Amino acid sequence: MNFNFDPESSRFQFVKHRYKYFLVSAVLIGLGLVIIAVLGLNLGVDFESGSTLEILIQGQPFTTEDVQAVFAELGLEPGDIRLIGNNNEIAEVRFIGTLDQEEINRVREAFAERFGEIDINESTVSPLVARELANQAVYGILLASLAVIIYVAIRFEYRFGIAAIIALFHDALFIVAVFALLRLEVDLTFIAAVLTIVGYSINDTIVIFDRLRENMKFAKLKRVEDLEQLVNRSIVENLPRTLNTSITVVFAALALYLLGGEGIRNFSFALLIGLLAGTYSSIFIAAQLWFEWKKRELKKKMFQPQNA
């Protein structure tokens, strides 16, 4: 398939069909909000108080069912069990709610009796710490967004900053909705993935805005059609760069997802979803939002009475 990226003759009309793109995003965001409201998020131990046990079992193979059987005998119900390590020699078991020392000792004795030599590392997040972590995660995302707005407003203009932040929230919400739908665990690695996507997506958007700003220096914007052509040209000129960088980063994230192990699987999956959403918003949403805003300003100037 041969794509024409020449802005003069390209058939890509990213601004002309902007309302279709807005509608797609509005429907997806609406569905995402409904999913989050109905299903909620599957918060991990990082944001719900609880205990995590890493049980290193040596000498014989075991399965998730074996681990579940031991906890069933103890009358304990883990929230999540994952086997990690090159040979699945470690069972990571998470509990919503903290385990006291007596319960941990019972777990240690039960596993030692069944599997022989074992080692257990225990970590507990109290309700207070969980609440602080959740607050800090929200503050981190909000501060990152505020820093983006301030920088873009200073470096470009405030309309670019607002449009970029709307596109970023579109990306972040999409990731959250997918995690809510698939009931994937939301923990600190998830927050790290969202902040990574915020940084990546704004980079893509800024490149398009920068080209837009450069093209504006040589453009004579007398009609709305001139502005539409300017925005479309700027997007088309950056389209090969945006697609090439996104595809290569997706390959890296995909390799991380397939080969990175269970411990960072949710992180790499969030990256993959965020990369797709970020690429979409950079091409189809951000510059078009700026166009809608700028168009109103241009129309005001067009109909403004001229002083003699």
Report pLDDT digits (tens) over 37-72.
998 888 877 777 778 888 888 766 678 888 888 888
Nearest to 193 by CA among 249, 110, 231: 249
Looking at domain 15-44+129-303, its CATH class is mainly alpha
Tokens 């397939």 belong to which residue?
258
237 pLDDT more than 50: yes
pLDDT at 266: 86
pLDDT at 305: 63
90-136 per-position pLDDT tens digit: 888 888 777 888 888 898 888 888 888 888 888 777 767 767 777 88
pLDDT at 1: 47
135-191 per-position pLDDT tens digit: 887 888 788 878 877 887 787 788 888 888 888 888 888 899 999 898 888 887 888
Tokens 């409201």 belong to which residue?
37
What is the reported pTM?
Answer: 0.75
pLDDT at 255: 92
What value does the mean pLDDT of the chain take? 83
Residues 6+ apart with CB under 8 A from 144: 195, 198, 199
CB atoms within 10 A of CB 102: 8
Average pLDDT over residues 235-249: 89
Give 269's pLDDT tier (boundaries 50, 70, 90): very high
Average pLDDT over residues 198-220: 85
Average pLDDT over residues 24-44: 89
pLDDT at 273: 92
The C-alpha angle with vertex 91 and arms to 85 and 93, in degrees rounded to 5, equals: 135
CB atoms within 10 A of CB 20: 10
The two beta strands, 185-186 and 42-43, are parallel
The beta strands (E) that lie in the chain are given as: 42-43, 50-57, 80-84, 90-96, 118-125, 185-186
Token readout for 107 is: 């777990």
How far apart (Å, rounded) are the C-alpha atoms in residues 1 and 283?
Answer: 20
Average pLDDT over residues 294-305: 77
Superfamily of domain 50-124 in CATH is RRM (RNA recognition motif) domain (3.30.70.330)
Taking CB atoms within 8 Å and a gap of at least 24, the contacts of 17-20 are 18/284, 18/288, 18/291, 18/292
Nearest to 7 by CA among 203, 231, 286: 231
Domain borders along the chain are 15-44+129-303, 50-124
Length of the chain, in residues: 308
User: Higher confidence at residue 144 or residue 250?
Assistant: 250
| Domain 15-44+129-303 matches domain 50-124 at the CATH topology level | no
